[in-house]
Amino acid sequence: MHRKTIITVCETTGSLLAMAYALLIASNTGNEVLGFSLLLISALLFAGWGWLDKRWAFLALQFFYAASAIIGLIRWG
């Protein structure tokens, strides 16, 4: 797959998953584990995007989001 295509897939899928995570957590419907799982996957996709596009601050931010997702999974799992 071409580098630009991979970046687009990471960006688009990561964004959709992050939106779904936010809605699941905000809805308070007992779907926290699913929500934090989506956040973790989103952070990994965004980290891939940051790495490929050499966006180092954005990549560093994804470590925070991934850590938040892991804490959420431990707390709610």
Residue 51 has what pLDDT? 97
56: exposed, middle or buried (Cβ count in 10 Å: 0-12, 13-18, 19+): exposed
Rounded Cα distance between 77 and 73, Å, is 5
List of the chain residues with pLDDT < 50: none
What is the pTM assigned to this prediction?
Answer: 0.94
Task: With H, G, I as helix, E, B as strand and everything else as coil, classify residue 3.
Answer: helix
Residue 77 has what pLDDT? 87
Residue 31 has what pLDDT? 96
